[in-house]
Amino acid sequence: MTRDALVVVRGGGDLGSGVAHRLAESGCRVVVLETEAPTVVRRRVAFAEAVRSGEVTVEGVVARRVEIGDLPSLGRPGWVPVVVDPDGRAIGSLDPACVVDARMAKRNLGTRIDDAPVTIGLGPGFEAGRDVDLVVETTRGDSLARLIEIGFASPNTGVPGEVGGASAERVMRAPAAGVFRAERSIGDLVEAGDVVGTIDGEPVRARIAGLVRGLVADGVTLPENGKAGDVDPRGREVDPAVISDKARAIGATVHEALLQRGLVARENTRAAAPRREVAPD
């Protein structure tokens, strides 16, 4: 069971990709389920980007888009398959040892505790012991990445964590519902007031100076006030292609939970390569 155990990660954003990356580097089989039009912002560290580009590499781990019908024949690939399956239709046929809901919707979108022998929900919206077996804390602070066996993660505050003295103003939001068209790129330096893109002609502006760490893909449809991107005031100190310490910590917790439950054999686990330290996201 441990050698061939499969983990399905629902959601290929930065946190889900941090989990999938950790498990893949540890020798696990991992499949990521995504939507047809991902709205992820931190695209350089998101396996969800494979939906658009066909293939993406995050810190040495390759992810490729595959069709849902090809999943059962993949065997044990040395890469992460990404499939468009927002409803989780493939879960039953894949018979995974674990399902991780990393969609960060702040509510349960349908993951059930009986979807797999072990089910894990990231962040608020799940009750451990009822909706899923385990919940992982995603709010920054002393409890970040804590494994919760009974109860809930911290409630959603709606306020991003503080970075470089900036919090909510780091986030760029859609002024109206519509299609985003990019005028700047991830990695660009911007000043407060700079236009990074438009929503049906209305400008989306940076609210602070810094480095564009995340930006939704050109052509994505966003709701009014939807997250279009984020600016990091630390500027060039930040590498937007490096997995955040938050995502790395959560990935490590999920991995350890599977080790403790015998779904991953410690002798089959190879050590992850050393990574550059990165300040909080």
Return the pLDDT at 29: 94
Indicate if the pLDDT at residue 276 is higher than 90: no
Whole-angstrom Cα distance, residue 176 to residue 192? 20
pLDDT confidence tier of residue 140, bands split at 50, 70 and 90: confident
Whole-angstrom Cα distance, residue 60 to residue 69? 26
Mean pLDDT of the chain: 92
Place of tokens 């550059």: 276
Whole-angstrom Cα distance, residue 154 to residue 137? 7
Return the pLDDT at 4: 61
Contact 9, 20 (CB under 8 A): yes
Rg (CA), the chain: 18
Query: Listing from the earlier edge strand, what are the strands of the sheet with 147-148?
Result: 55-58, 61-65, 80-84, 29-34, 6-10, 98-101, 118-122, 134-136, 147-148
Q: Three-state DSSP class for 109?
A: coil
Place of tokens 């991902």: 38
Whole-angstrom Cα distance, residue 161 to residue 141? 10
Q: Where in the chain is the domain with CATH 2.40.50.100?
A: 168-237
Contact 130, 111 (CB under 8 A): no
Segment 133-142 mean pLDDT: 95
| H-helix or E-strand spanning residue 249 | helix 245-260
Whole-angstrom Cα distance, residue 248 to residue 134? 18
Q: For residue 105, give the nearest of 88, 126, 75, 84 by alpha carbon.
A: 126
pLDDT confidence tier of residue 102, bands split at 50, 70 and 90: very high
Return the pLDDT at 159: 76
Q: Quick one: CATH architecture of 168-237?
A: Beta Barrel (2.40)
Q: Where in the chain is the domain with CATH 3.40.50?
A: 6-153+244-268
Indicate if the pLDDT at residue 250 is higher than 70: yes
At 201, list the tokens. 């002609």
Return the pLDDT at 281: 58
% of the chain exceeding 70 in pLDDT: 93
At 264, list the tokens. 């991953």
pLDDT digits (tens, 9 = 90+) for 191-242: 999 999 999 999 999 999 999 999 999 999 999 999 999 999 999 999 999 9
Place of tokens 């889900």: 16
pLDDT digits (tens, 9 = 90+) for 145-169: 999 999 999 998 777 777 777 788 9
CATH annotation of 6-153+244-268: 3.40.50
Torsion of CA 211, 279, 60, 188, to 10 degrees: 0
